[in-house]
Structure 1
Amino acid sequence: MTWLAVPLYAHAQGMSNAQIGALFAAPVLAQAPLNLVGGAYTDRIGGRRIMLGSCFVVMAAGLWFMVAAGFWMLMVGQVALILSRAAFWPATWAMATELPGERGVQLGRLNAVTNFGQIGGTVLCGFVLAAAGFGATFLVLTATGVLSLFAGLATPRLHKRHAALSARHPLAGYLPLLRRRIIVYTMLCAYLSALPFSLTMSFYPLLFAQFGHSEGASGVLLGLRAAGSILASLLTARFVRTGPQTLWPVTCGVAVAASVGFVPVINHVAPIALWMLIVGAATAAMTLYFQITISEASGVAERGSALALGGLGWSVSHLSTPLLMGFLADRYGIVVGFYVLGAFAAACAIVIAFTRHWAFQRS
């Protein structure tokens, strides 16, 4: 919900594009280390406890935004939300890999449910904003955190404590993981898969507002990205394969680049909706690819940490994308910013294409 509400809330308070970009980029500096800590403690105490703690933070952040005024109060709320997400993602990914059944299918279902929540939250946010304003929107966010907490309490306890982990420092396993080429490669894939996600949280709403679309229409358009992700997560989960021969990451990277770069070309709801569906599907397939690749390259005892490193690729994207877009939007306009980021995403796809075989070689 905050992807639409927070940038519009900041814009309504008179903040510049650079300040709005900083609201989404600066908290990621805190997300990166917590992401690693969350992954390490997922291996040690289980993802379920980490997930429940994240729900409490979301509830507190929603209440905070209801009274937030000015850049620094909004920054505090953003930090809380970013920290919650940083702990939540590696925890739930690790939980999904421990479920019975085919790993790709379980991860696809998790991603589909996540994106379904994004659709409901984004569309609901747009209509609540239009009907009742920002205060009511953040109250709904708090209520969502309460519902998530009760849903989390109903999940099974799957984690088994590993005796070898309790005898060493929680962060000790990261250096050996970073020595593996496959981990570095999947971090790049995660970075590219998160780039449109970062724009959804920051500058897509501003682009749609500049094009003259209402809050309700913007919510629907942003929800289409999640709809594309749901379809891709459910339909491609059985077909996504890892390994040096598969073209999944290259194809998805090219689709991400095209959909980001071409979305501002025609200011009409139909082509914009099409590009949002495409970018959602491409990022979902790329996310599944890096999740499956990391899961198969790591053991159960280190999977939370390995997935957290994939999440670190997301964190770097969430840091760099809003900052770069804020800089470009203030100097050259938001439309030019989307063109530049589309070209940058294409360059990332080219790098992935040329490093696939290197990544799967034993270092």
Structure 2
Amino acid sequence: MTATLTATAAPSRPAHRDPNVLRWLGAYTSSMVGDSVYYIALSWAAVQGGSPAQAGAVMSVSALPRAVLMLFGGVTADRLGPRRVVIGSDAVRCAAVLAVAALLFLTSPGLWALAVLALVFGTVDAVFVPAVGALPARVTSRDQLARVQGMRGLAIRVASILGAPLGGLGVAVGGAAAAFALAGLFIAVSVPLLISLRVSGLPADDGAAGATTPWQDLRAGLAHIRHHRVLAPLMLAIALGDLGFVSPLNVGLTLLADRRGWGAAGVGWVLAGFGVGAGVASLLLTVWGRLPRAGLVAGYAILAGSVAIGALAFVPGLAGAVGVALLIGLLAGLSGAMCAALLQTQADPACLGRVTAVASLISLGLTPLSMPFTAAAIGAFGPGPVYVVSAAVCGLGGVVALAVPGLRRAELPR
């Protein structure tokens, strides 16, 4: 039986005017800023405390538990409720960061403390990420979820803009210890805001989840995706889109800039162009609130974005590359928000944590594995052919969205 949500806000109230949603947005933004400051502090402390290889190992420690435990993190979010999980996750992350900050203030513990902190963060992220993705559907009405995704995109942009300079300032003023303390304070701000949230309830939140095992819950969630006429093709579209998108805009961009002579500053300008485009898309969705024909819009946006990705390798000048990156960001922000809103409105609310976990595992755990192969291919064949292949893979995601009737005709609630 499909569970139903009790609306927490009147459908006629826009999300950006709903105090409950604004509390969620404040908590999410503060937590994301804390995350950005944390990564700056961790990378600086690791580089200062060991060799480049050791620093790289510390930075990558969190990836394994995040990937391995992510699916069961979705089960946890569904069994306990996403609000409880996010509160607990932020509390643990805050305590861990502040503990390491205190340790660095008092002594020089070496890289082991940083490795333990990264391991804790990766483990907690495995439950935090699915719960964060499932929480918006509990704090607003279904017709406002597209607008909430726009607001979430704006929060991510704000966090990326503020986090790096704040982390750098913390390191400059008091070293890694001060930066870790600053990260902990930002994460701590999210906890009381989350506690004050009003959320809708599900039967699973009332303790009924104990009738099944976590493994049975996971299998049920995967079956829900596999047999759903929208979710199954949507997951495939997301996987193909991300697979063709992640590497060209990460390691591929660095190698491309090196060959074009743009330098590190050029990489920064191109990424800034992407960020501006994604921010504009988020702002437009926040204002509009809803786009008709969400599945169709997502498919065409992925297709157009794939063409822009392929074109990036053939733009000779930095100014042109920044313009193309802005277009990629605009289209990626639009398609990403539509896909996220469709996931949240099409999934059974009782399975939303598990659905979010699968999507997050694809985006955060699997697609980054393509980066070493992309780097090797660019070294062997040059950026042009590799970007074209990446664009074709990304475009296949759009083809799936447009070719499958259930996804192509999918609409967001009014």
Structure 2 partner of 1:186: 234
**Over the residues paired in the alignment, what is the CA RMSD in angstroms?**
4.4
After alignment, is 272-281 or 200-209 more displaced?
A: 200-209
Structure 2 partner of 1:232: 281
CA displacement at 1:235 relative to structure 2: 0.8
Mapped partners of 1:248, 1:285: distance in 2: 8
Mapped partners of 1:198, 1:60: distance in 2: 31
The correspondence for 1:339, drawn from 370, 388, 392, is 388
The correspondence for 2:131, drawn from 91, 94, 111, is 91
Tell me if the contact between 2:229 and 2:406 (Cα under 8 Å) persists in the aligned partners. Answer: no
CA displacement at 1:30 relative to structure 2: 4.4
Is the counterpart of residue 256 in structure 1 residue 305 in structure 2?
yes
CA displacement at 1:176 relative to structure 2: 2.9
- Gaps spanning 5+ residues in structure 2: where? 1-35
1:353 aligned counterpart, secondary structure? helix
CA displacement at 1:352 relative to structure 2: 2.8
Tell me if the contact between 1:205 and 1:218 (Cα under 8 Å) persists in the aligned partners. Answer: yes
Mapped partners of 1:220, 1:138: distance in 2: 30
Mapped partners of 1:92, 1:283: distance in 2: 20
What amino acid is the match of 2:230? I
Mapped partners of 2:368, 2:246: distance in 1: 12
Structure 2 partner of 1:167: 211
Structure 1 partner of 2:73: 38
Q: What TM-score results when the alignment is normalised by the length of structure 2? A: 0.66
Mapped partners of 1:353, 1:75: distance in 2: 44
1:98 aligned counterpart, secondary structure? helix
Mapped partners of 1:240, 1:74: distance in 2: 44
Distance 1:266 1:84, change over 3 A: farther
What amino acid is the match of 2:329? G
The CA deviation string for residues 210-245 of structure 1, in whole angstroms up to 9 with x for no partner, is 5444545533432332322222122135233456xx
CA displacement at 1:325 relative to structure 2: 1.2
Mapped partners of 1:84, 1:206: distance in 2: 33
Mapped partners of 1:242, 1:82: distance in 2: 37
Is the counterpart of residue 218 in structure 1 residue 267 in structure 2?
yes
CA displacement at 1:347 relative to structure 2: 2.8
2:230 aligned counterpart, secondary structure? helix
Structure 2 partner of 1:298: 347
Structure 2 partner of 1:143: 182
Mapped partners of 2:273, 2:191: distance in 1: 26
The CA deviation string for residues 177-232 of structure 1, in whole angstroms up to 9 with x for no partner, is 13323222121233245443555454434443554445455334323323222221
Structure 2 partner of 1:314: 363
2:135 aligned counterpart, secondary structure? helix
CA displacement at 1:109 relative to structure 2: 0.8
Q: When the two structures are aligned, how many residues end up with a matched partner? A: 348
Mapped partners of 1:69, 1:285: distance in 2: 44
Tell me if the contact between 2:251 and 2:371 (Cα under 8 Å) persists in the aligned partners. Answer: yes
Tell me if the contact between 1:38 and 1:308 (Cα under 8 Å) persists in the aligned partners. Answer: yes
Distance 1:108 1:355, change over 3 A: same
Q: Larger radius of gyration, structure 1 or 2?
A: 2
What amino acid is the match of 1:164? A
Mapped partners of 1:255, 1:211: distance in 2: 24
The CA deviation string for residues 286-311 of structure 1, in whole angstroms up to 9 with x for no partner, is 22222222222223322222222222
Distance 1:136 1:48, change over 3 A: farther
Tell me if the contact between 1:86 and 1:311 (Cα under 8 Å) persists in the aligned partners. Answer: no
Q: Which runs of structure 2 are paired with 1:260-279 in the superposition (5 Å)?
A: 260-279=309-328
CA displacement at 1:103 relative to structure 2: 1.8
Mapped partners of 1:124, 1:139: distance in 2: 11
Q: Give the percent of matched residue pairs that are identical in Structure 1 and Structure 2.
A: 19
